[in-house]
Amino acid sequence: MKITKQPLMWQVGLILFAGIIAISTSAIFIRLAITSAKVSGIGFSLFLSASRLTIASLLLIPAWRNFHSIPLTPGALRYGVAAGICLALHFATWITSLSFTSITASTTLVATNPIWVALLSWFWYKEKLTKITVLGISIAFMGGLLISMGNQETVNVVKNPLLGNFLALVGAFMNSLYLLFGKEAQRRGLGIGSYVAVAYSTGALVLLPLPLVFGVNYFSYPNSVYFYVLLTAILPQMVGHTSFNWAMRYLSPTLVTLATLCEPVGASFLGYFIFHEVPGVHVIVGAIVLLSGIAIAIVGSRT
């Protein structure tokens, strides 16, 4: 029998830290691709989403080698496919949001997935929401309102902040479904390599035809656009997303979810230095309030 050695906690922490750094670059590479192409909107965002997952899927081809020999319980593959569909919708909405709102607002609002996970668990699994969790959700909601009110203050930002904020929230909801379905798929027997291969490939297949529907092709862009797309597939996707999925096997979901709250901080920091994007006071305060509310809600869910 093959025995898998349990990693040391410092090794798990190091992988998780690498994932945080990698995922913080996602919004930056997407905005750089939009700037290089001098194109924005739904069609181009779908091109970025589809290309990102397609490249990641191709990099995971070796994971399919022994797929049929894996013992699975009923429903494992279905949950993996469902997770991939939700991942596709997550990228389609969140990446589009970066054409309409600031990096700080988009990455903060898309980080609200712990709130949605708590609400979905209450609805589906009848898990009781503690008073602390409800308090955290309420605080996070107030922070979201501040961000929505303050986006007009942001310097050098975009077209329709209300639409962008809404798309980021939809992206957070879809990411929550992706996490829940993915956890169930792994619980039913899919290992990390097989799971991400199924989820990423499904997401790519869902997204591939959509840019064409909006009249956007996959060619004729500057080489720099394809370079940034490649970087999003390697760093935020392969390193970032996969690191978080792997860490879930050894750390509590609470710790992993708390770690994801570092993404808006890192992305905003990079956005300031690369794009000189200065969030308004309402956005900064709203982001702090929202992230604090999420942290309180997560702690409350473990009480």
Is the four-CA dihedral 258, 207, 167, 280 of positive or negative sign?
positive
Give the pLDDT of the chain (303 residues) as one tens digit per residue.
444 577 888 888 889 889 989 998 998 999 999 999 988 788 999 999 999 999 999 999 988 887 777 777 778 899 999 999 999 999 999 999 988 888 888 888 888 887 888 788 788 777 777 888 888 888 888 887 777 666 555 545 557 888 998 999 999 999 989 988 988 888 888 888 889 999 999 999 999 999 999 999 999 899 999 999 999 999 999 999 888 878 877 776 666 777 777 788 788 888 888 888 777 777 788 888 888 888 888 777 665
Element (H, E) at 5: none
| pLDDT attached to residue 241 | 86
What is the rounded CA–CA span in Å between residue 231 and residue 209?
22
Q: Which two tokens stand for residue 63?
A: 């994971």
- Closest by CA to 124, choosing from 170, 81, 172, 176, is 176
What is the rounded CA–CA span in Å between residue 60 and residue 67?
12
What is the rounded CA–CA span in Å between residue 106 and residue 124?
27
| pLDDT attached to residue 2 | 45
Return phi, psi of residue 127, to 5°.
Answer: -75, 130
Residue 111 in contact with residue 287, Cβ under 8 Å? no
Q: Give 208's DSSP letter.
A: T
| pLDDT attached to residue 303 | 57
Half-sphere exposure of 264 (CA within 13 A, CB side): 28
| pLDDT attached to residue 3 | 47
218-226: long-range contacts, CB 8 A cutoff, minimum separation 24: 218/47, 218/51, 221/36, 221/37, 221/39, 222/36, 222/37, 224/32, 224/33, 224/36, 225/33, 225/36, 225/37, 226/51
Helices (H), the chain: 9-24, 26-37, 42-59, 76-97, 103-110, 113-124, 131-150, 161-187, 192-207, 210-213, 223-232, 242-247, 253-260, 262-275, 281-301
Q: What is the pTM of this model?
A: 0.84
Burial status of residue 7 (CB atoms within 10 A of its CB: 0-12, 13-18, 19 or more): middle
What is the rounded CA–CA span in Å between residue 295 and residue 182?
22
**Residue 137 DSSP SS3:** helix
Give Rg (Cα) of the chain: 19
Work out the angle at residue 51's Cα, subtended by the Cα atoms of residues 87 and 248, and round it to the nearest 5 degrees.
35
Domain ranges (residues) in the chain: 9-301
Q: Which two tokens stand for residue 61?
A: 């081809």
Per-residue burial over 172-205, b = 16 or more CB atoms within 10 Å of its CB, e = otherwise: bbbbbbbbbbbbbbbebbbbbbbbbbbbbbbbbb
Burial status of residue 143 (CB atoms within 10 A of its CB: 0-12, 13-18, 19 or more): buried
**Widest Cα–Cα separation across the chain:** 61
